[in-house]
């Protein structure tokens, strides 16, 4: 049997995390008290007056009573003060009420509700999204808690491949911990090898079109991958990796290495290696370096360095690289 306080306020701009906490509380309430002991206020019905009325109403439920109230970010200070605070000050011992505020902009849980929950001996929990530039540090902390050691490059690589959603990042860290075991150390290559296999395969076709300087194919493949849900950041990461590999091949070819020796050193099937070396032979070291620099600029622009949307920026960069 779980132990519950009388009042909870869960608020913040991490709406996914707030939804998870609401679902978990509901499951615990139904497990410990049964469906008949749970009452939910949501949508237009979730007002401070309605919450107060529920608290003041008699119930025939046996055991602990649970009330979940959504949307309190829409409430006004005076509504909380007049219609709810007096009832929170005299909460029945067998009742738990939980308020959920999905905050955004000026829509925030009223300060009066914060004070009332704390005064009633309840818990106030903030679920705030980690800013994108702080995600690598957050990933490092989560990995440490899971028994893994990542370096900075490994953390940045995980964010580049998986994206900025903390729930997805947390799941990937859990998978890495299970696969590698406690005490394991991973760098960027180790993370990419384990996490990025599927994304890598999808992006290779785009990267090969870029190396071949086939503008039409690169545009078509990019749009198809985006329609499948692939992220611009992830595609940029894998195309850059492929271009760096192509740069190494180009440098060896310009230095006089025979194509057969270069093909033999590539970690890919013979037919794919032959096509890759042939595409690289039609370009040069300088062009590949400029392409890698253009993708680095694209990464900065898609992180707030430009007013244009990410797809426009990416298509413009692909066109410039493959022209």
pLDDT in tens, 207-225: 888 888 889 989 998 898 8
Residues 6+ apart with CB under 8 A from 6: 91, 93, 95, 96, 97, 120, 121, 122
Q: What is the pLDDT of residue 165?
A: 74
Q: What is the pTM of this model?
A: 0.49
**Max avg pLDDT among 12-16, 55-59, 195-199:** 12-16
More confident residue, 205 or 8: 8
> Nearest-5° angle of CA 206, CA 207, CA 210?
90
Instruction: Give the integer Cα–Cα distance in Å for 88 and 106.
Output: 25
If one looks up domain 132-195 in CATH, what number appears?
1.10.8.60
Domain chopping of the chain, boundaries: 7-126, 132-195, 197-322
Q: What is the pLDDT of residue 234?
A: 79
- Angle, helices 152-162 vs 232-254, to 10°: value is 120
Residues 6+ apart with CB under 8 A from 152: 136, 140
More confident residue, 73 or 284: 73
Q: What is the pLDDT of residue 35?
A: 57
Q: Is the pLDDT of residue 198 over 60?
A: no
Q: What is the pLDDT of residue 60?
A: 59
Task: Give the length of the chain.
Answer: 323
Average pLDDT along the chain: 85
* CATH number belonging to the domain at 197-322, selected among 3.30.420.280, 1.20.1640.10, 1.10.10.10, 1.20.272.10: 1.20.272.10
Considering only 128-137, 141-150, 247-256, which range has the smallest mean pLDDT?
128-137
What CATH architecture applies to the domain 7-126? 3-Layer(aba) Sandwich (3.40)
| β-bridge mates for residue 9, sequence order | 99, 124
Gyration radius (Cα) of the chain, Å: 27
Instruction: Give the integer Cα–Cα distance in Å for 67 and 105.
Output: 27
Closest of 115, 194, 102 to residue 148, by C-alpha: 194
Mean pLDDT of 58-81: 86
* Percent of the chain predicted with pLDDT > 90: 26
């Amino acid at each position: 049997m779980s132990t519950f306080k009388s009042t909870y306020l869960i608020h913040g701009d991490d709406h996914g995390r707030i939804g998870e906490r609401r679902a978990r509380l509901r499951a615990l309430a139904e497990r410990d008290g049964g469906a008949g002991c749970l009452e939910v206020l949501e949508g237009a019905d979730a007002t401070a007056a309605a919450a107060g009325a529920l608290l003041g109403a008699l119930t025939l439920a046996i055991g602990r009573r649970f009330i979940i109230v959504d949307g309190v970010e829409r409430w006004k200070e005076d509504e909380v003060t007049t219609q709810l605070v007096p009832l929170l000050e005299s909460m029945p011992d067998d009742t738990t009420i939980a308020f959920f505020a999905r905050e955004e902009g000026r829509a925030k849980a009223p300060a009066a509700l914060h004070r009332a929950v704390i005064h009633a001996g309840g818990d106030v929990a903030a679920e705030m999204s980690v800013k994108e530039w702080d995600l690598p540090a957050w990933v490092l902390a989560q990995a440490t808690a899971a028994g893994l050691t990542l370096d900075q490059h490994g953390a940045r690589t995980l964010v580049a491949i998986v994206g900025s959603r903390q729930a997805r990042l947390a799941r990937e860290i859990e998978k890495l911990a299970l696969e590698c075991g406690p005490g394991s150390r991973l760098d960027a290559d180790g993370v990419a090898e384990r996490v990025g296999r599927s994304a890598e395969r999808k992006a290779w076709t785009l990267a090969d079109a870029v190396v071949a300087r086939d503008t039409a194919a690169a545009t078509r493949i990019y749009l198809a991958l985006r329609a499948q849900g692939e992220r611009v950041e992830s595609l940029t990461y894998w195309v850059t990796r492929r271009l760096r590999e192509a740069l190494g091949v180009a440098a060896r070819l310009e230095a006089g290495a025979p194509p057969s020796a270069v093909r033999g050193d590539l970690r890919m099937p013979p037919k794919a290696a032959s096509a890759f070396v042939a595409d690289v032979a039609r370009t040069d070291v300088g062009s590949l370096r400029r392409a890698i620099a253009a993708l680095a600029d694209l990464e900065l622009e898609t992180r707030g360095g430009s007013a244009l949307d990410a797809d426009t920026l990416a298509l413009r960069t692909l066109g410039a690289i493959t022209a």
